[in-house]
Amino acid sequence: MNPLHLLCLLVMLLPLAASGDDTPKPPTAKKLPKTDTLHGETRVDNYRWLRERNNPDVKAHLEAENAYAQKLLAHTKPFQEALYKEMLGRIKQTDLSVPYRKGGYWYYSRTEEGKQYQILCRKKGSLDASEQVTLDVNELAKGQRFMSVAAYQVSDSGKLLAYTTDNTGFRQYTLYVKDLESGKVMGPLAEKTGSVAWAADDQTLFYTVEDQAKRQYRLYRHKLGGPHELLYEEKDERFRVGVGRTRSQKYLLMRLGSLTASEWRYLDAATPAGEWKTISPRETDHEYDVEHHGANFYIRTNSGGRHFRLVSAPVADPGRKNWKEILRHREKVMLSGIDYFSGHAVLSEREDGLPHLRVMDLKSGASHRVQMPEPVYSVFGSANPEFETTEFRYSYQSFTTPSSVYAYDMATRKAALLKRTEVLGGFDSGQYQSERVYATAKDGTKIPISVVYRKGVKRDSKAPMLLYAYGSYGASMPVSFSSNRVSLLDRGVVYALAHIRGGGDLGKRWHDAGRMLNKKNTFTDFIASAEHLIAAKYTSSNSLVISGGSAGGLLMGAVVNMRPDLFKAVVSLVPFVDVINTMLDESLPLTVGEFEEWGNPKKKEEYDYIKTYCPYTNLDGRAYPAMLVRTSFDDSQVMYWEPAKYVAKLRTLKTDSNPLLFFTNMAGGHGGSSGRYDRLREDALDYAFMLWQMGIRK
């Protein structure tokens, strides 16, 4: 640590030691006013300097905040350790995933007790064959403070593995190729990469790279040992480039997509030097996805309805004039995905806030839905790389059923359970109750809420509750199982998940009703959900803790500004809270592409609307709930300075004495630490804070 950095840290920590009582004093960030004028209005940002990531004062301030938070939570340290051991005790630390078959091999991952990362493996021909480790992430992580593997693509022969790694948390992935016969690693071959796909010749790789704003914008072709050829550059900053391979292995696909429009191009995988052809040129508000089968492409398209329909198009001439409808648009059913196999197709659908799988026989045209055993659940396709198969793997779980992988025979309609994640420590799903209830929004809309609690918990307003939501990008919030959550449920905490507008739980119209100039529906839906749960006597405002992350952190910031009296405490993870300033900076990741989600504040109407809910802008002198705010210094999606500025400003305005804690992970990314044990300790800290605020100490 250099002397200036040390001096700054000591100055900021001085209040912790110099207070006249045992209560530590929070760090105070200096004010350096930065003035901007937009639409005739002058805005003053006193904390813009916190963006200067190389400024030693910035790191000193973040470390002072960490030290302050640790001191305020010192009394929970034994509880944190107990929670950590409790949660770790439910996990089978040495375990393996369900193997899946691809190209004559069985692929799987496994974990070993004491090791932070997974080990990726395969066996040739049979599960009885000897194991080959293709990639040991623990070895890659040695000497690194962070490690993540993204792309993992094996060539058609099975001899070569293309993979990408990030050792910073900033999602800056580097491309390597490993010879799986000799173990030799080639690379780094390219930096700042995204998607990766092999051609059929076993020598040619296609990959994408990002620009300065972390937008995947270029497609390259690289024949091993040869040059890297730029094939395409996307000029429209709203659009991103991706590359992949059809399940049939016949074609390479290039996707050019924004949040509201898409364009696909294709190339025969056997002719990697050939010319890419367009399926349908991009059009405003036209979104479509592509699968391949035989002489046709099969296309999920919103041309003809917001919730998508299914059409076919001949590979020889796939333009829209040749599209033939297979499945019409349905107003109450969202077609959210398509998967084609040699004799069947599986359609992913959403209806009444629940996911469904529909299997279609390609010869007869007959279709049926796969039956699910519980009324509230989550289901989605698992690893299904093989084209010539009648087996479809899917993952099923609920609030009370751990993650379960099934093999479904699409011909006989029979499902076989392959594996259910083992929960150690005597977990009994029969001890817990799950249900779906509905809140009424101020405009009369019914908002689904999924609830789970331990049987025996009374609805007498006395139970503590954790209410979670997200509500952006059309993302559906799955009713998923968490072995960690059992630590809350077993202490009498009720857990609720609000499926608010802005998400995709009820389809694209649900998303539309909570984005752009409708965004405030997301926040009022959440408030209505909290009010309903209180009125139904699940909990009270004195026992209600709320949580959300990223865009869900925006939700947290907005609702506590609107109704700070409604919540006891807030856990806000990597929160997007400085909406106006971020959306005015087009050099940042995500900004330009997300004009179609939040709006562009350079447009006065959209600026005026964003200004009404932006959490940082609307902080005021009032009492706020207790708060725990988390970020990561190397987060590439929500920059660390957003929550840092938010907390600094809030400290000068809040009139209450409730704790306001701010942690910065100096070696993490958007999801926190990369190691599984490190993440578990972060969860234990969050839980200890929540339970403390709920009045539960052990």
Q: Active-site residue numbers?
A: 550, 635, 670
Q: Position of tokens 């405009």?
A: 443
Cα distances (angstroms) measured from residue 152 to each of 123, 149, 194, 227, 533? 16, 8, 11, 22, 44
Question: Any bridge partners for residue 548, and if so which?
Answer: 572
3-state secondary structure at position 188: strand
- Which tokens belong to 155? 């060539």
The contacts of residue 44 (CB under 8 Å, 6+ apart) are 33, 34, 35
DSSP 8-state class, residue 545 = E
The contacts of residue 131 (CB under 8 Å, 6+ apart) are 121, 122, 123
> Phi, psi (5° rounding) for residue 117?
-125, 165
From CA 504, how far away is CA 543, in angstroms rounded?
29
3-state secondary structure at position 526: helix
From CA 669, how far away is CA 646, in angstroms rounded?
19
Q: Position of tokens 């010749």?
A: 201
Nearest-10 Cα torsion for 92, 415, 393, 374: -70
The contacts of residue 276 (CB under 8 Å, 6+ apart) are 231, 232, 254, 265, 266, 267
- Which tokens belong to 36? 């901007």
Q: Are 205 and 197 in contact (CB under 8 A)?
A: yes
DSSP 8-state class, residue 370 = P
From CA 71, how far away is CA 23, in angstroms rounded?
9
The string of DSSP letters for 56-92 reads HHHHHHHHHHHHHHHHHTGGGHHHHHHHHHHHHTTB-
Question: Any bridge partners for residue 264, and if so which?
Answer: 255, 280
Radius of gyration of the chain from Cα atoms? Answer: 26
From CA 632, how far away is CA 507, in angstroms rounded?
32
The contacts of residue 225 (CB under 8 Å, 6+ apart) are none
From CA 363, how far away is CA 680, in angstroms rounded?
49
- Characterize the bridge pairing of strands 41-45 and 95-96: unpaired
3-state secondary structure at position 6: helix
Quick one: the chain helix, strand, coil %, rounded to 5? 25, 35, 40
- Which tokens belong to 292? 């391949």
Q: What is the 3-state secondary structure (H, E, C) of 134-175?
A: EEEHHHHHCCCCCCEEEEEEECCCCCEEEEEEECCCCCCEEE
Q: Are 77 and 372 in contact (CB under 8 A)?
A: no
- Characterize the bridge pairing of strands 228-233 and 216-223: antiparallel
Q: Which amino acid is at 134?
A: T
- Which tokens belong to 626? 């207790």
Q: Position of tokens 């971020």?
A: 582
In terms of Cβ atoms closer than 10 Å to its own Cβ (0-12, 13-18, 19+), residue 697 is exposed
Q: Position of tokens 């393996």?
A: 96
> Phi, psi (5° rounding) for residue 4?
-65, -45
